[in-house]
Amino acid sequence: MKRLFTTLFIATFAITIVHAQNTCSTYYPMVDGAKLQYTNYNKKGKEDGKFNYTVTNVQGSGNNVSATMEMEIVDKKGKVYTSDYDIVCDGDIVKIDFKSMMNEQMLSQMGDVEMDISGTDIELPNSLSVGQELPDANISIKMKMGGAINMNTNVETVNRKVEKLESLTTPAGTFDCYVIYSETKTKMMMTKQTLPSRTWFSEGVGMVKQESYNKSGKLTNSMVLTNYSK
């Protein structure tokens, strides 16, 4: 259960930087049928699962567009978890409805679970520049897993800053990307930790790569865009 929840949570924060492009957003392919596949790698560079996303049910126009994101998580043992959730592009900001992500379909795959979610979404403006500071974000999840078993998780994403602009090549192609540094403060049960990460964003695609590090700054895992179509 804890492993599934951790995998899902990693996917959640990756998702907030993966989707939407039309006149409402610069960085995300918010187009019906757009598909993105990310491959997760451990610190030794070995494959550790995949995340597949498909954009569906795009509605609206101009600066107000909504869509449904279908998500499939394939862990390193080949087990598949599926769900879908809502995305809203409002003005120059893309937001994800975290509550819709934890829908009946996903909860049924996690067993007998009740969940309460609150917090603020991660925001990515349409215009980025080197040195720009971005707003913090947080999410709090309270889970009741049958009987008296409870698990509360709080995650803050802080110190978000655009570090540089660089070209990055992945199996999906070569992309000009802004690199954003951030730190994630996590409290899960009796565990507390603050870990840094970097994310590469490309116009019209969204997230191209994400690297996570331990408190000493050493790479612990990465997520790379390995297939993309729209």
Flag whether pLDDT at 228 surpasses 60. Answer: yes
Least confident of 34-43, 100-109, 138-147, 155-164: 100-109
Q: How confident is the model at residue 15 (pLDDT cuts 50, 70, 90)?
A: very low
- Say which CATH number the domain at 122 has: 2.40.360.20
Count CB atoms within 10 A of the CB of residue 18: 29
- Rounded mean pLDDT, 86-111: 63
Which range of residues forms the domain containing residue 82? 2-229
What pLDDT, in 10s, does the model give residues 83-98? 787 777 777 777 666 5
Q: What pLDDT digit, counting tens, does each position of 144-203 carry?
A: 766 666 778 888 889 999 999 999 999 999 999 999 999 988 887 778 889 899 999 998
More confident call, 122 vs 196: 196
Domain count along the chain: 1
- How buried is residue 215: exposed, middle or buried, by Cβ count under 10 Å (0-12/13-18/19+)? exposed
Length of the chain: 230
- Please give the mean pLDDT across all residues of the chain: 79
The pLDDT, as a whole number, for residue 100 is 58
Q: How far is CA 116 from CA 106, 140, 150, 173, 195, in A?
A: 14, 8, 11, 39, 25
User: What is the reported pTM?
Assistant: 0.80
Structure tokens at 224: 């790379």
- Kindly provide the residue ranges of all beta strands, DSSP E only, lying in the chain, ordered along the sequence: 35-42, 47-61, 64-74, 80-90, 93-96, 114-120, 137-144, 150-170, 173-188, 191-202, 206-213, 219-229
- Tally of CA atoms within 13 A in the half-sphere of 2 that contains its CB: 8
